[in-house]
Amino acid sequence: MSLKNKIKDNKSSWYFLFAIIFIYVCIGIINPTIGINSLLFFIEIAYKIIPIFIIVFILMTLSNYFITPKFIIKHLKSKGLKKWFFVIIGGILSSGPIYMWYPLLADLKNKGLNYGLIACFLYNRAIKIPLIPIAIFYFSWTYVIILMIVMIFASIVQAILLNKLIKNEK
């Protein structure tokens, strides 16, 4: 995407924001009760979510700073549970479009990473750190933690089954 398209997309986002603010102001003028209730609801949501967003922002900043492709490749060469741990954490922390990860995963496959570990990585990409605060707001800490544990466990089971199926196929 060119810089000109990025700027154009950015402007349309601002237009959307101002349109929403304008609609809320109009509703507040027409019916102040609804406007005040909407504002109070927004403040209540912001009060609950902003601390979580701050924690997520700090964790993402630290992970982007310390976890580089070289770091990942170095730790995926390890053996045993350490490799599984890094595949799971790497999948959770990975961001961006999935197709951008395929060349790195293909390179890791050529260096000895098995299909099960690749599947585990891809499965754990479904856990999105930036979306956790919203999920917690709508569902609860308990639900989100249990869901993440189940997803991680399912990724391990899927990886083991995939490795067994591919071995039986060959």
Task: Over range 128-153, report the average pLDDT.
Answer: 90
Q: Cβ contacts of residue 129 below 8 Å, gap of 6+?
A: 56, 59, 60, 92, 93
Q: Would you kindly state where each structural domain of the chain is located, as residue ranges?
A: 68-169
Phi then psi for 78, rounded to 5 degrees?
-70, 170
pLDDT of 9 reads: 58
- The whole-chain average pLDDT of the chain stands at 83
pLDDT of 69 reads: 65
Amino acid at 100: M
The answer to whether 123 touches 151, Cβ cutoff 8 Å, is yes
In this prediction, residue 142 has a pLDDT band, given cuts at 50, 70 and 90, of very high
pTM, to two decimals: 0.59
32/63: higher pLDDT: 32
How many other CB atoms are there within 10 angstroms of residue 152's CB atom? 19
pLDDT tens string 39-87? 899 899 888 888 877 887 887 787 777 766 677 667 766 777 888 888 8
Give the DSSP per-residue string, 12-69.
HHHHHHHHHHHHHHHHHHH-HHHHHHHHHHHHHHHHHHHHHHHHHHHHHHHHHHH--H
